[in-house]
Structures are given as structure tokens and as C-alpha cells.
Amino acid sequence: MKNLPFFDLSIIIIYLIGMVLVGFYFSRKNKNAEQFTTASGKIPGWAIGASIYATFLSSNTFLGVPGKAFGSNWNAFVFSLSMPLAAWVASKYFVPFYRNTGEVSAYTHLEHRFGAWARTYAVVCFLLTQLARMGSIFFGIALSLQALTGYSMELIMLVMGVCIIIYTVLGGIEAVIWTEVVQAVIKTFGAILILYLIISEMQGGVGKIIDIGVANNKFSLGSFSPDFVDSSFWVVLLYGFFINLNNFGMDQNYIQRYHTTSSVKEASKSLWLCVWLYVPASLIFFVIGACLFAYYQVNPELIEAVKHQVALERLPNASPTEIQAMMATLQPADYGDKVMPHFMVTKIPAGLMGLIISAILSAAMSTISSGMNSSATVFSVDIYQRYISKDNSEKKQMNLLHIATVVFGLLGMGTGIAMIGVKSILDVWWQLSGIFAAGMLGLFLLGIISRQSKNHEALIATIIGILVIIWMTFSPSIPEEYAFLRNTLHKNMIIVIGTLSIFLTGILITKFKKRA
């Protein structure tokens, strides 16, 4: 715990005020719902690409990926390597599809294909996953910044949440996009700065880092054998492809941006720019994790404080002897997430801390603001206008979007606060988001690929698919006497099998029905 020097605190305050001022600047243009949700299709493609990149590069990447690389290896980097393939599919099929429909919501077409149930199912799944996503990012950023600043987690979430709500409500999607462009630069610079500081502190420099990394298998991408039980190269590649396919094809955060450009070509360019920015940027964070591992191998006495913190969290009322015993059992994977905040607290000089914290804040704010705007858009188009009132004036639509943005911002903040001290909630939410993503993607693919599939086939396929997803997710809890009923595949295969279950079941039912 430490209090920030005035200079560092000033940098953070200037950054937060700057983000709010962006919202005030673009508020002059937000006179109608189209401007608020799509910026009237006048945003340049390069800005959209930087914006999507900023949304991808959340604080979970900024703080979680180095911890993952520290605790294991570069196996998770295969997720990034899957992005070009998913982007190729999306730019060839998804982007033209959404642009041609002219519908700002990603879920309106599901009603046209399968009925109101499909649209409502996808909307509910999306809104729940957005709350989970925003809450986890609020929680993660507060957990890290508490160690860096000494302020309470509730206060950190409140200040950050209020700033995000102000500029998102005032400026709409245009403010979200342009603040994300700035945030993309800040967070990328912050990552490079952290990497430089670690290497400059390292005895033996880059050569020593490489030697330690090779000796400890830190640069491995995972086993290339056809193994779907452990986290092999192929498991992560498949998982990344399906998750990114869901992001590019079903996530309102990204679909909405396709409509903010002037053409299909510009929208596709923005998607590819995101990919070419994110892949090397994510590699930087894996390099940071490997560098931190080498640094603490050379300075093993420094890691004791991190182990002590983790042991105290696991055994809050234990004796000193029990704490020492726990510390002796901890492996790098157990405390990987704590290492980068510890390095920042102890090794980053005054003056640079403010810049680093601003970078971490920007990583969180970009994703949260996108979630707020897209959730408000979906609520307005898919719930309010669909079920409550279709005939609304421009003023009423704008008021609705403003109120919905504030409400979803507060709900996301509340979810983050609720997660304080209850880490199992975070795990459950991520499990549920995997269920929702698989269900939405399978239904979407069935809708655009199998043109002969109708309402009943889609409904039966979705029910079967969801049952498969639930079984794969929760079967580890099956009692030992029924262990043969457990899912033996790696948990990252849930979205793969779940998506294919809905898609292939729908196609098979359609073919059997046609023959009958």
C-alpha cells in the first residue's frame, strides 16, 4: 500500500478530465439516436480499427496476460494467432451481411430468421455477458490500483465509473471511439514503458532473460499433439477462433462499429487494422510476463513479499507458521497475477507511475465505455422499441439512450463492487459468459449458413446445444460414483462443442424434415 506522489496523481487527474472533456466536445453533435449509436457512419476506418483494438486490449489483457505468462508459458498467445483467420471470415461474410441489413442491432435479423424468441434470447445473453465483462474489469482494475495507490476499491470504481458514464452519455459512440483511439496509444506506450523498465532493472539484460526463459520452457506455445484434454496448441487455437468469431460476428460492441464507417470496405479495413495491432501488442504482454519471471528468478528474495500476500489471502486467520507453510507450497501460477503490480509498486520511479496507472485505466475504460454504449443501444432497439413503444420522437429516443447508458454503467459498477472479496462470483460469471457466447454463435451461424432452417429447427437445436454446454461446464461437479458422465475435454472446448452442437443439430434436423 502506498499513496501516490502529487505529480503522479496530477497526471491521472489530467487524463480523467481529458476523457470527460472529449464527451463534452462531441455532445454538440449528438442531436439524434443515429448520431449517438452510429455517428451517422462518418468515422474513418483507421479510427474504428484503433477503437476495436482498444476494446480488445482490456485491463484483463494488461494485467492478466503477464501473470499468465509468468505462471506458465506462451500457450495463451495462440489465442491471438487465431485472430487473422476469424477476421478473414468476418470481413468476407459478417461485415457485408450487417452492412447490407442496415440494422444497428446485431440481433434484429435473428427475429427475421427464427422469430422473436431468438432475438430475445440473444439480447438477454449479450446484456448478461456485458454486465459480467464490465463488472470483472471494474473489479480487476480496482484490485490492482488499490495496491498501487492505497485508495479503497470502492472509491477507485466510483471515480472511474463516473468519468466513463459522463463521457459516454454526452458523446455517444463518437466519444467512445475517439477516446479509445487516445487510450489505444496510451496503453500501448504504457506496455512498452513497463517492458523497458523491467529490462533496465534486469542483471544480464535481454540475454539473461532469454536463457532463463528457454531453461524454464517459458516460450512454448503448447503441445502440438492432437490433445483436446489439456491446453494444447490446437485447443487454444480452436477456442480463440470461435471466441473471436463470436466477437466479430455476434458482439454488439463490434457490430455497431461496422455501421460507423462510410462503406463495407472501410469497415473491413478497420477489422484488419485491429488484428495487425492486437497480435504484436498482445505479444508484448507475454514478453513482459517472461521478463518478470526471469527478473524474480535472479532476485528470489523479492518474490517472498508476493507469496506472503497470496498466503494471507488464502489463510486470513492463520498463524505465522501456517503462513510460512502455505508460502512453501505456492507455485508461480498461484501468484502470477500479483507480480506485475508488485514490480510497479517497488521499482517504477515517481513521475512514471502516473503514466503507467493512466495506461491501466485506459485499458479498463475503453472496454467499459464500449459495453455501456452497446448495451444501451441493444436495450433501446431490441427491448424498448420492440416490446414497449415503437413510436418515439428523437428527443425521447435520446433520453432513453442516455438513461440506459447510465443504468448499465451503474449496474456494471455494482457488479464489480459485489465481486470484492468473493472471487468465486467472477469464476461463475466467466463460465456463464462462455455458455452464452456458444449459444449465440451457434444460432447465428445456423441462421446465415443454413437458409432452409426455420423456427422449430432452430429452437430444438438451441435447446439441445444449451444442454450440451451446461453438461460440459458443470459436469466436473458430478459425484465420483458417476464419474463416467463427466466431460473429459478441456474447458476451452466448451464454446467449440457448444457452437457446433447447435449449428450441426439444426442442419441435421432440417435435412431429416426435408426428406420426410
Q: What is the pLDDT of residue 345?
A: 77
Report which of 193, 202, 187 is spatially closest to residue 291, judged by C-alpha positions: 202
CB atoms within 10 A of CB 186: 21
How far is residue 371's CA from residue 121's CA, in Å, rounded to a whole number? 18
204 backbone φψ class: left, alpha, beta (φ>0; ψ -120 to 50): left
Q: What is the pLDDT of residue 421?
A: 60
How far is residue 201's CA from residue 122's CA, in Å, rounded to a whole number? 49
Report which of 410, 426, 418 is spatially closest to residue 375, judged by C-alpha positions: 410
Q: Locate cell 521499482: which residue?
A: 347
Global pTM reads: 0.84
Q: What is the pLDDT of residue 406?
A: 92
Return the C-alpha cell found at 400.
432513453
Q: What is the pLDDT of residue 509?
A: 92
Q: What is the pLDDT along the chain (516 residues), one digit of tens a residue?
A: 356 677 888 888 888 888 888 777 777 766 667 667 666 667 888 888 888 888 788 767 777 788 888 988 899 899 999 999 999 999 988 888 888 877 777 788 888 889 889 988 888 888 888 888 888 888 877 877 777 777 788 888 898 888 888 888 887 777 778 888 888 888 888 889 889 999 998 888 899 999 999 999 999 998 898 888 888 899 999 988 998 888 888 888 788 788 888 888 888 898 999 999 999 999 999 999 999 999 999 888 888 888 887 888 778 778 888 888 888 888 888 888 788 878 887 888 877 888 888 887 887 787 788 888 888 888 888 888 888 877 677 778 888 888 998 999 999 888 888 877 654 444 455 566 666 677 788 888 888 888 888 889 999 999 999 899 888 888 888 888 888 888 888 888 888 998 999 999 999 999 888 776
How far is residue 411's CA from residue 404's CA, in Å, rounded to a whole number? 10
Residue type, 269: K
Residue type, 257: R
How far is residue 434's CA from residue 440's CA, in Å, rounded to a whole number? 10
Per-residue DSSP letters for 211-273?
A: HHHHHTTTT-----SS-SSS--HHHHHHHHHHHHHHHHHH-HHHHHHHTTSSSHHHHHHHHHH
Answer for the pair 103, 247: CB distance below 8 angstroms, yes or no: no
Q: What is the pLDDT of residue 1?
A: 39
Per-residue DSSP letters for 308-371?
A: HHHHHHHSTT--HHHHHHHHHH--HHHHHHHHHHHHHHHHSPTTTHHHHHHHHHHHHHHHHHHH
Answer for the pair 281, 188: CB distance below 8 angstroms, yes or no: yes
Q: What is the pLDDT of residue 335?
A: 80
**Crossing angle (nearest 10°) for helices 264-298 and 332-347:** 90
| CA distances in angstroms from 264 to 104, 232, 244, listed in the order given | 14, 36, 19
How far is residue 28's CA from residue 35's CA, in Å, rounded to a whole number? 11
Answer for the pair 419, 425: CB distance below 8 angstroms, yes or no: yes
Is residue 98 helix, strand or coil?
A: helix
Q: What is the pLDDT of residue 40?
A: 64
- In terms of residues, how long is the chain? 516
- The answer for residues whose C-beta is within 8 angstroms of residue 493's C-beta and 6 or more apart is 228, 235, 238, 239, 472
